[in-house]
Chains A and B, each alone.
Chain A
Amino acid sequence: MWEQIRSNRIRSVVLVIVMGIFLFLIGYFIGLYFFDSGIAGLLIALIIWAIMTLVAYFQGDRILLASAGAKKISHDDHPRLYNIVEEMRIASGLPKTPDIYIIDDTSLNAFATGRDPNKCAVAITSGLLQQLNRDELQGVMAHELSHIKNRDVLLMAMVSVLLGAIVMLSWYASRIMIFGGGGSRRNSSSGGGGAGQAIIMVIALVLMIMAPIFAQLIYFAVSRKREYLADASAALYTRYPEGLASALEKLGASARQLKSANKATAPMYIINPFRKKGLSAGELTSTHPPIMERIRILRSMGGGASFVDYDKAYRHVHKGGGGVIPAATMSLSGTSYQAITTETSDDEPDRLTRES
């Protein structure tokens, strides 16, 4: 089961390559159009991408945490939260307990960040911290830690940088093209211009319109897959899918948006921070699967807690169609894990000791 990273890595690489190709195609045609040289455009795209990547890689977590107004806590500031994160760190087999941050915000959300398992952080809003009992908090933290464990944070950072570069290039180039006039066309000799130029312009325009859309769709699709995988991992780590399910229920009932979230950071959160109550976003254009569906899957795992059980539940909820966990991952984790099914009575919301 700890091998899942490997099978994911291949898919992730393919995805990043596809988006990279988009970016360089755009760069190439922009170069061809403005400078009569595809290489120049490629260079521009490359430089933009490199700068953004470096910033995201080395400063991304700090920027994210700072923009969210997160405060780092130690064990004594909030023993329960700290202990829960440590418990989940142990269950997931991560080498080091991540830094823990609290965002002073009444909305309900949580996210994970950090480029590798040795340098990572989890953050939770004070609103969510107040509303959840211990089991639910455990489920949420397990979900976040599995984003770190599965290297989702790094992948999504890379992908959103690519997406950002594509959007940026297309946006500026199309504005210049439309409002700024013909670029190098005016300077270049009228020799071979004509038809060739027109074709390049059409291709460039089509690319500029289509590439950001496609890149975004890929990005959303990957992000959603990752959410399912993180849910499945949370069930596996806690052996108690109901914890996350009931936490999601509380999250789903809240209508407040997180003030400090923005589109680029959305996939890092446990639920989509832009979601409005009663307004379901289009299936294709959401970073997160619908909450109700995630709850239904977690609740139809039928007493199991393994990836196989999650996959079965997913297929059940989706009535046919493919599963959500890569086959290679499942075969490695074929053993079934029993979920903890201790019933929690109403007057005792915290199931503080687990069945050992």
Chain B
Amino acid sequence: MDIALWVILGILAVLVLFFILTYNGLIRLRNQVKNAWAQIDVQLKRRYDLIPNLMETVRGYMKHERETMEAVTNARNLAQRVPGGSVGARSIAEGELSSALSKLLAVVENYPDLKANQNFLALQEELSSTENKISFSRQYYNDSVLNFNNKIQMFPSNIIASMSGFKIGEFFEVTVATEREAPRVSFS
């Protein structure tokens, strides 16, 4: 009798321990995803802030690019209006902004005066670095989501995940076709 009782207690203890460890692991991964999303958000906001400055600098030089410039401003305003939580909608809007921006930076080639402007060069460094930061934070975010989703869907942690109502995370994907091609910004 005694032995059977101990065995049952032992099994229970192991189960409880397993539950605690797995649950905490899931929480940790979910927080990592949230934190990674916050990182993307910071960089996207930074890009919104940089664009008006860029427009201001570029306006004096680019007489014939009204459409390209308007496309950037519009895409920025649209992206800014997407509610913070929805990853899918956000990634579409940000994709549009990226492609509009890369078109604008591509036509800079035709304006040698602009390319010699110190102010513009500094802005361009900031802007392209922000683009990099966006893609690196997206890379980290997607890796985090992948780890989180694996944990949620794989046995045995999936049992605890579904018991505790964890939902799989959404990837921040490149949704606009034009954005798949690397925006070429020449700095030379």
| Residue positions of A touching B, CB distance < 8 A | 1-2, 79-80, 83-84, 86-88, 90-93, 237, 239, 335, 342, 347-350, 352-356
Contact = CB atoms under 8 A, between A and B. Distances in A.
Contact of B132 (A1, A79, A348, A354): A354
A186 B184 CA distance: 81
A355 B131 CA distance: 10
B57 to A, nearest CB: 16
Contacts of A353: 102, 128, 131-132, 182-185
A80 B186 contact: no
Contacts of B147: 1-2
B39 interface: yes
Contact of B39 (A83, A90, A239): A90
Contacts of A355: 135, 180-182
B87 to A, nearest CB: 16
Contacts of A2: 32, 143-144, 147
B188 A342 contact: no
A350 B125 contact: no
A352 B133 CA distance: 12
Given A353-B184, A355-B182, A356-B174, A239 B139 contact: yes
Chain B at the A interface: SS class? helix
30 contacts: A79-B129, A80-B129, A83-B126, A83-B129, A83-B132, A87-B129, A87-B136, A90-B140, A91-B139, A92-B140, A93-B32, A93-B36, A93-B140, A93-B144, A239-B139, A348-B186, A349-B188, A350-B187, A350-B188, A352-B186, A352-B187, A353-B102, A353-B132, A354-B132, A354-B136, A355-B182, A356-B98, A356-B135, A356-B174, A356-B182
Interface string B87-127: 00000000000100010000000000000000000100110
Contact of B134 (A88, A352, A356): A356
A342 B146 CA distance: 25
Contacts, number: 81
A63 to B, nearest CB: 32
Contacts of A350: 187-188
Given A79-B122, A353-B184, A356-B138, A1 B143 contact: yes
Contacts of B133: 83, 86-87, 90
In this complex, the interface size class of chain B, counting residues with CB under 8 Å from chain A, is 35 or more
Contacts of B144: 2, 93
Contacts of A83: 125-126, 129, 132-133
B41 interface: no
A356 B36 CA distance: 17
Contacts of A93: 32, 36, 140, 144
B126 A79 contact: yes
Given A79-B126, A352-B128, A91 B146 contact: no
B157 interface: no
Contacts of B39: 90
Given A80-B129, A83-B126, A90-B39, 20 more contacts: A2-B32, A2-B143, A2-B144, A79-B129, A80-B125, A83-B132, A86-B129, A87-B133, A90-B137, A91-B137, A91-B139, A239-B139, A352-B186, A353-B132, A354-B131, A354-B132, A355-B180, A355-B181, A356-B138, A356-B182
Contacts of B134: 356
Contacts of A91: 136-137, 139-140
A73 to B, nearest CB: 15
Interface string B138-164: 111001101100000000000000000
Contacts of B129: 79-80, 83-84, 86-87
A79 B125 contact: yes
